[in-house]
Amino acid sequence: MVMGVTDVDDKIIKRASEMNISPASLASLYEEDFKQDMAALKVLPPTASLRVTENIPQIISFVEGIMAHGHAYSTAKGNVYFDLQSRGDDYGKLVGVVPQPAGEPADSDKRHAGDFALWKAAKPQEVFWASPWGHGRPGWHIECSAMASSVFGSHLDIHSGGIDLAFPHHENEIAQCEAFHQCRQWGNYFLHAGHLHVKGKEEKMSKSLKNYITIKDFLQRFSPDVFRLFCLRGSYRSAIDYSEDAMLQAQQLLLGLGSFLEDARAYMKGQLAGGSVGEDQLWERGPTPGPTALQTGVSLDPHHKGVVTAGVGPSREVSREMAREPSRQPGPPGSPAPGQPRRDAGGPRSPAVFGAIVSYVEQFFETVGVSLAPRQTAVMPE
């Protein structure tokens, strides 16, 4: 996995000016804050992190390569644009229908309204670098294309990002990379994630809309495992509604899974006695040989809510068996009601089947990064 840090972004330049610090200093603060939040959510760090400011020569060379193949042009003002006419019908193959370009200002030096910037001439008070076209800075899309190519070369397997990046960002990345590398297909798959919405509102959670909660504030109330379960219960491709109820449901599911593992282990040790177990039926309803439900689900639709159901399902089957009526005859005074397990010493029942299912559930949630250890499930909201 590779992460590009776009540290000369327009918003960063504006905010740095307001704070009277350099854009690089502000970007560094944001970068470190982001790393801390990801670590707190148990997100593994990328194997490579690249910064735009440390790759300017590579980006300039990438622009020159696109120009050399006849897919870009420079202007007298010092701008460099990608020539969409040179792509023909290939432009738009990711999104299908390309939106009409917005109106351009009267002083635009583009050949066509849809052409996009590879290099922008410097404006007053902006960060700039020297280039063959004069002082300026990279365009948004070219930064990612150049840095991704420096790591992966001329071919990429999986590219991910939010659904709002499909156009124009990812479409433009494809155009740039295929023009530079002279290939027919730069990326095999694009995975576009839905946005996090505020439940009951047709708007995504956004800092600009002031309807957000920070990761640090969230983790004051819920564990990172609760957040992972919350995400896994939805489809990665669709918008997910964030709400207090949804988080509490995910928390209860996590607590229930932890309780299941505790009871199942006690049952196998004979510390939790119950009725007879239909071992053959339990095994049929539990994990089966061959590809697991997790592998099958991920291959069809990564992070689909059906995948987490495959992990919860076996635990529910075992829980039902443990709660079966121990006996149809009334027990002695003080014994559990019919249908409730007896918490007394007894011989272990079906340790092989129970052990296989417990191992399956543990490995399943370990694979998706959810810890079922008691210390992780004991976090309760105030």
pLDDT tens for 163-193 read: 999 999 999 999 999 999 999 999 999 999 9
143/288 same-domain check: no
More confident residue, 17 or 323: 17
Q: What is the CATH number of the domain that holds 143?
A: 3.40.50.620
74/115 same-domain check: yes
16/127 same-domain check: yes
- The candidate with the shortest Cα–Cα distance to 70, out of 90, 87, 47, is 87
pLDDT category, 41, cuts 50, 70, 90? Answer: very high
- The candidate with the shortest Cα–Cα distance to 257, out of 221, 218, 226, 303, is 226
Report long-range pairs for 283-291 (Cβ below 8 Å, ≥24 apart).
283/353, 283/356, 285/314, 285/317, 286/314, 286/317, 286/318, 286/353, 286/356, 286/357, 286/360, 287/314, 287/356, 287/357, 287/360
Distance (Å, whole) CA 242 – CA 134: 47
Length of the chain: 382
- The per-residue b/e assignment along 55-77, b for 16 or more CB within 10 angstroms, e otherwise, is bbeebbebbbbbbeeebbbbeee
- DSSP-assigned states of every residue in 308-363: HHHHHHHHHHHHHHHTS-S-SS--STTPPPTTS-B-S------HHHHHHHHHHHHH
- Report residue 331 as tokens: 């027990």
Judge whether 11 lies within some domain.
Answer: yes
68 CA to centre of own chain: 36
Among the residue ranges 24-33, 146-155, 158-167, 203-212, the one predicted with the least confidence is 203-212
240/287 same-domain check: yes
6/121 same-domain check: yes
pLDDT at 30 over 80: yes
pLDDT tens for 3-19 read: 444 444 677 878 888 89
Judge whether 340 lies within some domain.
Answer: no
CB 267 within 8 A of CB 156: no
Distance (Å, whole) CA 381 – CA 221: 5
pLDDT at 46 (0 to 100): 93
Domain count within the chain: 2
Judge whether 48 lies within some domain.
Answer: yes
189/230 same-domain check: no
8/147 same-domain check: yes
| DSSP β-bridge partners for residue 51 | 5
Domain that holds residue 125: 2-193
